[in-house]
């Protein structure tokens, strides 16, 4: 096991402490403790309204699609990358109570020498296909165009990002300052197949793919596709796994490649229903992306988050643990470990989340509760893999 952590040694930070320090002095918007920055309605000039403007992307998951494309010749693998970029924005925005309409603009950076127009077309079509799928569920996503930039000196393969905007009333904002002792923590699973998905989802989401890819795939990919890894990465951490993309993932109907490329699940249909029926019952929402299961430590007051009834660790994350030797602590800091959205609510609100999730065949589980803590925030995760604890001082 690496004492510094394999993720850090690969040049990636799950918590991005340096970034948070860099922006600490900036204006945090109308609701400084909300999950996303919320701005005055500069476009409409309505003091009762607010704007949410958000930017995110698929990260290094696009390299998984690149590998699959190079191995199979099928650019369709990139359609899911568009969904990843869209969901990483939309599901963050759900956490402040925005449920649409959403307006999205994409940014595609590529190395044109390696990535041709058929790939760009697959990405762009993927955005429109995902918008159509959301539309069928009653959620409006407007694709507002975008930019494709040829940046071979900066981008070794392809990077897919997006910026998304939505408008909502200020009195509808979900502010995580309202997370309180006594709240139940209801988590929404990332695995299985929701009614609005075509196949089983591994639950990987769009975080931690640098480690997931290198820890599972074998050294042959390093030699065949040197453009897919950074020369600064220690040699022992480059494609250090045992598997090929086509090998089966035990415990699932997926191959390793399909599991790594599983499109990030959106929880928009579920959260929209919950907020329409009981917005006041929801005290907070956390999207477990950067920071994995420790993301909640960025929100709330003097509280202790106790997650002592977690989902079983999904097969993909269990295999990463076995292959890499990474500690369970590091895995919980990097990956979502089975659920990617947490709802903090009273008993009535928790029941509403469970009912809405069941309607879409997504498992909801009461994974824990919020307790009072003195002068700091704490997190305890207790399950079959042991008990892990973190604490964080208040701002």
CATH code for the domain of 283: 3.90.650.10
Distance CA 149, CA 256 (A): 31
Tell me the average confidence (pLDDT) per consecutive run of 10 residues in the chain, 395 residues long.
Answer: 57 55 70 96 91 97 98 97 98 98 98 97 98 98 95 96 97 97 98 97 97 97 97 95 98 98 98 98 97 96 97 98 96 97 98 98 98 95 97 88
**Residue at 343 is within a domain:** yes
Distance CA 296, CA 378 (A): 9
Q: What is the pLDDT of residue 20?
A: 45
Q: What is the pLDDT of residue 42?
A: 87
Global confidence as pTM: 0.93
Residue showing tokens 């997006």: 162
**Residue at 1 is within a domain:** no
Domain count, the chain: 1
**Residue at 329 is within a domain:** yes
Residue 360: domain span? 6-393
**Residues β-bridged to residue 341:** 188, 287
**Residue at 142 is within a domain:** yes
**Residue at 194 is within a domain:** yes
Q: What is the pLDDT of residue 116?
A: 96
Q: What is the pLDDT of residue 10?
A: 59
**Residue at 101 is within a domain:** yes
Q: What is the pLDDT of residue 1?
A: 41
């Amino acid at each position: 096991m690496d004492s510094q952590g394999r993720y850090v040694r690969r040049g990636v930070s799950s918590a991005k402490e340096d970034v948070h320090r860099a922006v600490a002095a900036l204006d945090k918007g109308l609701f400084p403790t909300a999950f996303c920055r919320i701005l005055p309605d500069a476009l409409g000039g309505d003091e009762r309204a607010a704007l949410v403007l958000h930017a995110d992307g698929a990260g290094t998951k696009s390299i998984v699609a690149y590998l699959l494309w190079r191995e199979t010749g099928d650019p369709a693998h990139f359609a899911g990358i568009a969904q990843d970029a869209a969901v990483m924005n939309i599901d963050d925005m759900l956490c402040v109570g925005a449920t649409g309409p959403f307006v999205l603009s994409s940014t595609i950076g590529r190395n044109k020498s390696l990535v041709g127009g058929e790939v760009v077309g697959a990405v762009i079509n993927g955005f429109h296909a995902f918008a159509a799928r959301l539309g069928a569920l009653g959620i409006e996503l407007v694709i507002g165009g975008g930019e494709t930039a040829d940046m071979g000196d900066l981008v070794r393969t392809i990077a897919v990002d997006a910026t998304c905007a939505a408008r909502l009333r200020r009195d509808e904002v979900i502010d995580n300052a309202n997370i309180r002792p006594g709240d139940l923590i209801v988590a929404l699973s990332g695995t299985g197949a929701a009614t609005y998905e075509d196949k089983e989802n591994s639950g990987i989401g769009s975080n931690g793919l640098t480690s997931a890819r290198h820890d599972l795939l074998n050294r042959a990919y390093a030699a065949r596709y040197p453009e897919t890894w950074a020369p600064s990465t220690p040699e022992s951490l480059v494609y250090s796994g045992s598997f090929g993309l086509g090998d089966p993932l035990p415990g699932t109907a997926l191959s390793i490649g399909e599991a790594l490329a599983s499109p990030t699940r959106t929880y928009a249909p579920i959260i929209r229903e919950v907020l329409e029926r009981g917005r006041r019952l929801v005290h907070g929402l956390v999207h477990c992306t950067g920071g994995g299961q420790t993301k909640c430590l960025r929100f709330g007051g003097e509280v202790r988050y106790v997650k002592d009834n977690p989902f079983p660790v999904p097969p993909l994350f269990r295999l990463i643990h076995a292959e890499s030797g990474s500690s369970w602590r590091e895995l919980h800091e990097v990956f979502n470990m089975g659920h990617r959205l947490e709802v903090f609510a009273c008993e009535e609100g928790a029941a509403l989340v469970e009912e809405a999730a069941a309607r879409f065949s997504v498992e909801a589980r009461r994974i824990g509760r919020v307790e009072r803590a003195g002068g700091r925030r704490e997190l305890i995760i207790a399950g079959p893999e042991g008990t892990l604890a973190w604490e964080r001082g208040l701002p």
